[in-house]
């Protein structure tokens, strides 16, 4: 570990935290000083016995140290004590909503910057973050919130069209997964559950980053664990062709085109590609089906897939660089992508 690299702690080793911790380890301009959690979960065990082997473990709160130790974990210290040492530059907080609010008080007291996740209320941080759209805004603040998976995918695709062509009005129709693969207690098993107010919270959440975008979102939940899927229509400011839109998507980082014709014709089929290629079958890219990109009368249509567990991972890494002024936007995106194997 180079002494002058930024020292990062990830608090909360669940779906997001374990991935971000692993991703921090893969960067060469920051160090994963340690991870923190409160309970001896399977996620914690599988990762400390796997890709996070050798990583220091801290207990998020002082009075849970014993729980972890009794379950066989070696605990270095509690997190507040660690933060007191002045060694830590930034905490990535991936704890559940409401817990993160309480944690923020601790970080504030200790004078350590922190990144929060999209499950938190937007008010937790002055900046809601997407690397492409507003990287620069994170440099001036102590708290940043990386927006949720669905919002990240909408922001990437709509920002690319808006900055290249102009978007007059966008409507996103979201088909969301019921739960992540190991979340056995979540449903539905055989039902479609609509969000019965329009817009769903996703549209306004995009507007936290792109305040001038006219966007409305509708959302439903379905019995699948692998991915979300969005059907989008966007009225564009100029007359463009379908090839223009494809070209813009192609050149935008973290948007990736897939050809259904090659056999990648469902969420499971695209996921299967990454089962063959990446640990956890992570897909931080938004996957757009090439054949679904259409333009008619200035309205662009497309369908994209969102891997809910990993799409926000590179955004967290970029947010770290942005907040600690380690690199500018394009350099950070390039570094993150290279280190995570994103083309």
* Residue 208 · residue 128 · CB < 8 Å: yes
Task: In whole angstroms, give the CA distance from residue 86 to residue 282.
Answer: 33
Q: Would the annotation count 59 as a binding residue?
A: no
Minimum CB distance to its own copies, residue 156 (Å):
19
Q: Would the annotation count 308 as a binding residue?
A: yes
Q: Would the annotation count 149 as a binding residue?
A: yes
Q: Give the DSSP letter of residue 92.
A: E
Q: Would the annotation count 119 as a binding residue?
A: yes
| First-to-final CA distance of the chain | 27
Nearer to its own copies by C-beta: 56 or 186? 186
* Residue 257 · residue 314 · CB < 8 Å: no
Minimum CB distance to its own copies, residue 170 (Å):
11
Residue position matching structure tokens 């979340």: 183
User: Of 149, 167, 248, 257, which is the active-site residue?
Assistant: 149
Nearer to its own copies by C-beta: 13 or 327? 13
Tokens at residue 103, please?
Answer: 């944690």
* Residue 23 · residue 16 · CB < 8 Å: no
149 in active site: yes
Q: Would the annotation count 15 as a binding residue?
A: yes
Give the β-pairing of 215-222 and 193-194: antiparallel
Nearer to its own copies by C-beta: 110 or 304? 304
Helix (H) or strand (E) holding 170: strand 167-177
Q: What is the CA radius of gyration of the chain?
A: 20
Minimum CB distance to its own copies, residue 273 (Å):
4
Minimum CB distance to its own copies, residue 308 (Å):
12
Nearer to its own copies by C-beta: 103 or 227? 227
Q: Which residues are annotated as a binding site for NAD(+)?
A: 15-16, 37, 119, 177, 308
Residues marked as catalytic: 149
Residue ranges at the known binding site: 15-16, 37, 119, 148-150, 177, 202-203, 308
């Amino acid at each position: 570990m180079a002494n002058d690299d930024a020292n990062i702690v990830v608090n909360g080793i669940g779906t997001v935290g374990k991935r971000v911790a692993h991703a921090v380890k893969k960067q060469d301009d920051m160090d994963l000083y340690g991870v923190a959690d409160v309970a001896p979960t399977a996620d914690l065990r599988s990762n400390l016995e796997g890709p996070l082997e050798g990583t220091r473990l801290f207990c998020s709160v002082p009075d849970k140290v014993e729980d972890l130790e009794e379950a066989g974990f070696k605990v270095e210290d509690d997190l507040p004590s660690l933060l007191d040492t002045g060694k830590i530059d930034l905490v990535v907080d991936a704890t559940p909503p409401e817990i993160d609010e309480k944690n923020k008080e601790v970080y504030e007291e200790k004078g350590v910057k922190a990144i929060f996740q999209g499950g938190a209320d937007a008010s937790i941080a002055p900046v809601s973050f997407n690397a492409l759209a507003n990287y620069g805004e994170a440099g001036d603040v102590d708290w940043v919130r990386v927006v949720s998976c669905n919002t990240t995918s909408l922001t990437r695709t709509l920002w690319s069209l808006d900055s290249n062509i102009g978007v007059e009005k966008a409507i996103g129709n979201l088909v969301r997964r019921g739960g992540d693969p190991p979340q056995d207690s979540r449903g539905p098993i055989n039902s479609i559950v609509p969000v019965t107010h329009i817009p769903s919270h996703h549209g306004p959440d995009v507007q936290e980053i792109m305040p001038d975008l006219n966007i409305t979102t509708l959302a439903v939940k379905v019995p699948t664990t692998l991915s979300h899927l969005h059907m989008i229509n966007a009225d564009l400011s100029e007359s463009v062709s379908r090839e223009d839109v494809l070209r813009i998507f192609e050149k935008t980082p973290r948007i990736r085109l897939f050809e259904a014709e090659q056999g990648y014709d469902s969420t499971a089929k695209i996921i299967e590609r990454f089962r063959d290629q990446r640990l956890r079958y992570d897909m931080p890219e938004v996957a757009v089906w090439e054949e679904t990109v259409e333009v008619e009368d200035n309205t662009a249509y497309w369908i994209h897939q969102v891997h809910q567990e990993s799409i926000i991972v590179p955004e967290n890494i970029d947010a770290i660089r942005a907040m600690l002024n380690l690199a500018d936007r394009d350099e950070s995106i390039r570094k993150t992508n290279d280190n995570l194997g994103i083309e």
